Structure 1
């Protein structure tokens, strides 16, 4: 891999130990994937922020790294394992809180923005079309590649941090135009309202490692957010192409290898398969984090209704969105906890609950595994009806 004079200086340790270690990681990845060079990035988004997911070893790694390096481009962070301000009301233990705060402090020393969200594009870190970035969160990378038109691989936490420190990433994978071409066309019939996450859930399974092309996919930004998050959870690719006549650019379909029809009946069957229990300990909404429009729509529906109080309720969002609509947040708080900085996937939910219902296709993948939950899928409207009367 070609390195500039500055790259070589960093690799030789002439710019400090921390930068040297970061460069070693990027060069190793570049060699593995056959990259020809390192390219500048506009921003980074780093995973590995919850103590639940990185543990003591990951915490020690971050603390050691923070003694020798700082980020050089805009870098934001994935959700923590707790709401920094309302961790006690979540049921988080003192021990977990203490260990989580060590991670927070390490990232602060590294210079990472304390954004703590899986939707950085809704909280100020929004890349432009064609920009190269190094993002790690699966739902954020697919949204950036597919809806925003930025260019990123799905980074690991350490590689995203290394890219943030160096300000560059290896040029391979989805940073190259030839690797952003769809290989399978999936024609989705009508998607019933609220089942957009399950459409993504099924597309991910069908596409596997291939970029899918989805003609006529008419979704709003929030629906794209939910669709892509589920697709990235069940599939192994961080991008889809879609076209809407008169709205979206024409897509290069010359490399399509297979055509798959996804009928509405299959979506309804998938919904039934993921239905699970009818009685839950927790209703969790906001995976990915709720947007301001989603908060407002839910508040509009719930205003004038009373809490049913048949289970705990979490509405997860970024602190930026939380602050932007205080009146609507106040409405939601009558029905449950509006949590920032965290979500049901990376919080120590298994210590508090056993059965969780969510409107998220991504959560249907991670709640049973990472969260050890009996997970049940319902549409957002279904859940709002259950928690209110």
Structure 2
């Protein structure tokens, strides 16, 4: 059955994406061109097209980037999915409801999707899709199936003010589209929409703040786009620094805590097992569900604020116990003598193997990953999978959940790591920048890097930067690690992260960067337009000193045959 999720009328050529796309980090917000260097449709444009993809993936910021595309006139005319999809749908809904930009969002069955994908163009009305000789009737979303409490209805009637009313209107519209039976209370929220990815983010936040919006549950904030206290001294132009800091200020004005970290699980008072929370920021969502056993779907930017203003979220997805079971079992052949580079690489490969479903990873029962290893795994997994959850047998708290009856099996072997290593290391071996902290470094990682740099200094030709949250900065300042890092020539930048950094904080002359982050190795070519090298933390330290990336992969990764394409 074909469904009209957000109705609109349009006629457009088709762009069929073979894989899901993270619009944030994968699309140029000024032009609509796909810039994800690892996406099959790189170089194609969303602008003016009816874009088909199985579902979206990657960053929760995609909803805001989609709104920015609408403001810039470079948005698609329609989005057509075959799976459930929340992030881009929310962006379209906000563009339509708050700012009058019309785009259609449809969801088709597998057969309908495959037939339409063979055509060159589509014509869409609220009730009908026409593509060549194909005509599909479109069913609207049933809103009367969503049960609301008396307080929910009072909020919709405006009894708690206009900001909360608008938030509840958006929330209930999306909940109906998601098929949620009702809303549920949440105990805390993490805001991702504070990254200044386009002027649309500030326009949205300022409108909600001007309407008198105030959060009603404890709310933390993601990394922002500037070092809030120091951006002027760092040479950031007023044209960017002012709106970026104003965006952060708008959320603080509405009652959010200025935590400014993309790793909220590093803050005090972690969520508890079984706790219903509402987090945005993909790596944090995956970590909270997978490692902590808390419950949150991957909330899109803007929805995070709507939930913070109401304290309510749609009871759907992995909030429900029956939706937390694995639907793909992945057996991993673990090489001997792995180092910390194994974990982000594994996360990326697992996401590629399970792009649209929850996996159970087996074969790691005899390993002992640290919290930082799991952080790196979850972050890289979020770049290639739309799923908000993974299980690791013998390690994560819900790994004993029986796989769903339809679950299938795949394997990840040593050759997969070799191919990914080659993909992540296409850059030249002369490195100009070592980029650490994606997600934000923990105090432990800072101390480890300080140990690796002990009695050594960063090469004068190299810039080495660690990004971290304010809470972590306070810890390393108190325990002396900050001083040790500074003595070695390492720069520490709080508040922002590598996924939101811009020149001149990002060294303008740097042509090749090296990172230990699988997430940033994936996104950096598109975000920074630089060449990338990837390696372990120890290899990053060595590169910071020598200026050269390692010429060979670590011993635990086998060499690829010379005729094997990368």
What TM-score comes out, normalization by structure 2 length? 0.66
Q: Are the aligned partners of 2:333 and 2:363 in contact in 1 as well (CA < 8 Å)?
A: no
- Aligned ranges for residues 27-42 of structure 1 at < 5 Å? 27-42=172-187
Between the aligned partners of 2:152 and 2:413, the Cα distance in structure 1 is 51
Q: Where does residue 378 of structure 1 map in the other structure?
A: 535
Q: 1:259 aligns with which of 399, 405, 409?
A: 409
Q: Kindly indicate whether residue 491 of structure 2 is the aligned counterpart of residue 337 of structure 1.
A: yes
Q: Which has the higher helix share?
A: 1
Question: Residue 256 of structure 1: CA displacement?
Answer: 5.4
Report 1:102-251 matches (<5 A).
Answer: 102-124=246-268, 126-190=270-334, 192-193=338-339, 194-217=341-364, 218=367, 219-244=369-394, 250-251=400-401
Runs of 4 or more, structure 1, over 3 Å off, are 88-91, 245-249
Alignment pair present for 1:18 and 2:163? yes
The reply to whether residue 314 of structure 1 matches residue 465 of structure 2 is yes
> Matched residues in 2 for 1:98 and 1:319: separation?
20
Gaps of 5+ in 2: 1-145, 547-566
1:365 pairs with 2:522: yes
Q: Does 1:348 align with 2:502?
A: yes
CA distance in 2, matches of 1:311, 1:50: 27
Q: Which moved more, 1:39-48 or 1:268-277?
A: 268-277
Shift of 1:351: 7.8
Higher RCO by CA contacts (8 Å cutoff, separation 6 or greater): 1
How big is the shift at 1:307?
2.1
Relative distance call for 1:380 and 1:88 in structure 2 (3 A) is farther
Unpaired runs of at least 5, structure 1: none
Matched, 1:60 2:207: no
Deviations 1:149-201 (A, max 9, x none): 00111111110110011011000111111111101111112252122111101
Paired residue secondary structure (1:198)? helix
Which stretch shows the higher mean deviation, 325-334 or 337-346? 325-334
Question: How far off its partner does 1:98 sit?
Answer: 1.2
Question: Offset at 1:19?
Answer: 0.5
Report the number of matched residues: 387
1:310–1:387: 8 Å Cα contact kept in structure 2? no
Structure 2 distance, partners of 1:60, 1:18, is 14
Q: 1:300 aligns with which of 451, 467, 475?
A: 451
* Cross-structure match for 1:76: 220
> How far apart are residue 370 of structure 1 and its match?
2.7
Change (3 A) 1:235 1:247: closer
Q: Displacement, 1:94?
A: 2.7
The secondary structure found in structure 1 opposite 2:297 is coil
Partner of 2:421: 271
Tell me the secondary structure at the aligned position of residue 294 of structure 2: coil
Indicate the SS of the match to 1:59: helix
Cα drift, residue 336 of structure 1: 2.3
**CA distance in structure 2 between the partners assigned to 1:376 and 1:220 by the alignment:** 23
- The question of whether the paired residues in 2 share the 8 Å contact of 1:82 and 1:90 is answered with no
Q: Do the aligned partners of 1:182 and 1:210 also contact (CA within 8 Å) in 2?
A: yes
1:2 CA drift (Å) = 0.6
Deviates more, 1:95-104 or 1:364-373: 364-373
Quote the offset at 1:117 in angstroms.
0.5
Bigger shift: residues 210-219 or 130-139: 210-219
What is the aligned-residue RMSD (CA, Å)? Answer: 1.9
8 Å contact kept, 1:216–1:244: no
Instruction: State the alpha-carbon separation in 1 of the partners of residues 258 and 176 from structure 2.
Output: 32
Q: Which moved more, 1:289-298 or 1:363-372?
A: 363-372
Question: Which has the larger Rg?
Answer: 2
- Decide which moves more: 21-30 or 373-382: 373-382
Change (3 A) 1:75 1:243: same
- The more displaced of 356-365 and 7-16 is 356-365
Question: 2-side partners of 1:100 and 1:322: how far apart?
Answer: 21
> What secondary structure, in the 3-state scheme, does the structure 2 residue paired with 1:81 have?
coil
